[in-house]
Amino acid sequence: MTQTLRNTDAGVLCVSLQIDTRPIWLILAIKCLRPVFFLVLASLFLYFIWMPAPVGLSIEGQRAIAVFLLCLVLWVSNAIPLAITGILAIVLVPVLGILPNKVTYSLFGNEAVFFILGAFILAGAVMHSGISNRLALYILDRFGGSPRGLLITVFLLAAALSFIMSEHAVAAMLFPIVIEISKSLGLKPGKSNYGKLLFFSMAWGCIIGGVATFLGGARVPLAVGILKETTGSQIGFLDYSIAVFPLVVILLFAGYMLLTRIFPIDITGVEEAHGVLKKRLKALGKLSFSEYSVGAVLAITVFAWIVLGEKFGLAAIALASVVALFVFRMVRWKDIEEYVNWGIILMYGGAIVLGSALDKSGAAKWLVGMAIGDWASEPWAAFALFSFLSILLTAAMSNAAVIAVLLPVSIGMAQTLSIDPVMLTYAIAVPAGLDFMFPMGTPAIAIAASSNYITVKESAKGGFVMFVAAWVVFNLVAAFWWPLIGMGYR
């Protein structure tokens, strides 16, 4: 049993009790197995370090692989927080002599880390100002005049907002609105097809829109950071969006068609929902100066990323915008610090260090030769393989961890296959954001499932079809669209 104590506004102390109803033998087994798990893991790690290095692999490379495998197990099992695993990688790399201290800790200052930090703060300012909530309510009220229209509006709105904000944040912002709409329409949790459609549309819209730009999630900046650190190559803000635009459009169409086939619309009107939306809009009052100013800063920032990103760097522009927010007192630090996920930043810093260690020690190239050999001798086959592994692993682990695991190995393969490492970065970064099946891989699905309107079983059923469709469409876009815009496997 756990207790949560909190002070209410009235000054009354409330106690929230949570009783663990699992059998006592199971609780004791879990508590006993945890130390055994870490003891076995530590023993295997030390054995791997001390065993003779395989032929063709340096001692530093062997140790880099040991750290890589250790982090892989911890990321998959989630035995400790992702951020702590990232910190562990930062500690072990210099301690084991894989990279010098100075080099290791300088990697944490990678441009991608600061871009992610700036993007978190900008998104926090947008949410705190209320402009994103106002925009969502207005669009839903304006364009959702029928059951089908409301459904499409929720779907496209979730996708569009995920172009400029983290998909997780968008799902969290839209969730209470969709809950109120569902209740106002009298939709029964777990039984109403339209209720299922609304929450799946919210989640799937966030997932699909989240891969459209650098801002939908920190995984793409992380991948770009690893690419730049290991090869010196870059991917521009606008170049990335142009490359994935057809994928986003096709998946939005496919997702809508699939959802409405699996769950046919079972209501005839949505008038009650509009009453709720109008009431919430009225409560917001007039557009405030904070909403105007923060919205303007975001618009200018996105424009600068597109036009000046290559010249000044995405991170520099993001941080300059953050400074402007505070200089002109549009936000206060205490207003947005809750939106900055420091754990993710630490995790990404560790992932970049791990990726660089695998590359500089020669471990990534050795792993490619051992794991893949000669069977994937064609660039398109390697591209398809890594894109499949990326989308598959994301169903079971954090997409950031997937990038940290796969990208260094794929880049190590680039020279052997004469394939552009930039293309392999796309092959890992984009599919890593396209898991539609399970809550553990996609927080948007977890948020939707918490409504009780949908189940994990239903998510897996429709999500598997979208999983296959996303992988096929991504590879078709790479094969037919990318050559038209000057991109190719080689």
Asked whether the predicted pLDDT for residue 256 surpasses 90, the reply is yes
Q: Which two tokens stand for residue 87?
A: 């910190």
Q: Is this prediction's pTM over 0.85?
A: no
Asked whether the predicted pLDDT for residue 2 surpasses 50, the reply is no
Angle at 409 between CA 408 and CA 415, to 5 degrees: 95
Residue 5 pairs in a beta bridge with 15
pLDDT at residue 79 in the model:
80
290-325 burial, b for 16+ CB within 10 Å, e for fewer? bbebbbebbeebbebbeeebeeebbbbbbbebbeeb
Q: Which two tokens stand for residue 114?
A: 């600061």
Q: What is the CA radius of gyration of the chain?
A: 24
Asked whether the predicted pLDDT for residue 268 surpasses 70, the reply is yes
> In the chain, what is the greatest distance between 2 CA atoms, to the nearest angstrom?
72
Residue 6 pairs in a beta bridge with 14
pLDDT at residue 478 in the model:
93
Share of the chain above pLDDT 70, in %: 89
pLDDT at residue 252 in the model:
96
Q: Which among 394, 395, 415 is positioned nearest to 406, based on CA atoms?
A: 394
Asked whether the predicted pLDDT for residue 11 surpasses 60, the reply is no
What would the pLDDT profile of 353-365 be if each residue is shown by its tens digit?
887 888 788 887 7
Distance, CA of 223 to CA of 165 (rounded, Å): 18
pLDDT at residue 393 in the model:
77
Distance, CA of 486 to CA of 360 (rounded, Å): 30
- The separation between CA 110 and the C-alpha centre of its own chain, rounded to angstroms, equals 19
Distance, CA of 224 to CA of 233 (rounded, Å): 9
Helix axes 237-262 and 193-210, enclosed angle (nearest 10): 160
425: pLDDT confidence band, cut at 50, 70 and 90?
very high
Q: Which two tokens stand for residue 419?
A: 């394939």
Distance, CA of 303 to CA of 238 (rounded, Å): 10
Helix axes 111-129 and 131-143, enclosed angle (nearest 10): 60
Which residues in 352-434 belong to E strands, given as ranges? none
User: Positive or negative CA dihedral for 476, 479, 483, 486?
Assistant: positive
- The separation between CA 173 and the C-alpha centre of its own chain, rounded to angstroms, equals 16
Q: Which two tokens stand for residue 246?
A: 């057809």
Residues in the chain: 490
Helix axes 399-417 and 421-429, enclosed angle (nearest 10): 160
Share of the chain above pLDDT 90, in %: 26
17-40 burial, b for 16+ CB within 10 Å, e for fewer? eeeeeeeeeeeeeeeeeeeeeeee
Q: Pick the range with the lowest mean pLDDT from 174-183, 325-334, 366-375, 439-448.
A: 366-375
pLDDT at residue 14 in the model:
47
Angle at 348 between CA 155 and CA 43, to 5 degrees: 120
pLDDT at residue 47 in the model:
93
Task: Taking residues 421-427, report their average pLDDT.
Answer: 91
Q: Strand, coil or helix: what is 75?
A: helix
User: Positive or negative CA dihedral for 427, 433, 434, 437?
Assistant: positive
Distance, CA of 298 to CA of 125 (rounded, Å): 9
Domain boundaries, the chain: 1-39, 40-110+341-485, 114-259+267-337
Average pLDDT, the chain: 83
pLDDT at residue 111 in the model:
76
Helix axes 82-95 and 59-77, enclosed angle (nearest 10): 170
**Residue 349 near residue 108, CB atoms below 8 Å:** yes
Task: Give the C-alpha distances (Å, rounded to integers) separating 275 from 176, 242, 272, 278, 394.
Answer: 15, 39, 5, 5, 39
- The separation between CA 367 and the C-alpha centre of its own chain, rounded to angstroms, equals 26
What would the pLDDT profile of 80-109 be if each residue is shown by its tens digit?
887 888 889 899 999 999 999 888 888 877
Q: Which among 269, 273, 272, 264 is positioned nearest to 193, based on CA atoms?
A: 264
Q: Which two tokens stand for residue 56?
A: 């063709």
pLDDT at residue 20 in the model:
53
Helix axes 59-77 and 342-360, enclosed angle (nearest 10): 150
Task: Give the C-alpha distances (Å, rounded to integers) separating 16 from 3, 6, 7.
Answer: 6, 8, 11
Asked whether the predicted pLDDT for residue 196 surpasses 90, the reply is yes
What would the pLDDT profile of 456-487 be if each residue is shown by its tens digit?
788 888 888 998 999 999 999 999 999 999 88
Q: Strand, coil or helix: what is 13?
A: strand
In single-letter form, the type of residue at position 103 comes to: V
Q: Which among 353, 460, 372, 348 is positioned nearest to 424, based on CA atoms?
A: 372
Please give the helix or strand (H or E) that residue 259 lies within, else none: helix 237-262
Asked whether the predicted pLDDT for residue 391 surpasses 80, the reply is yes
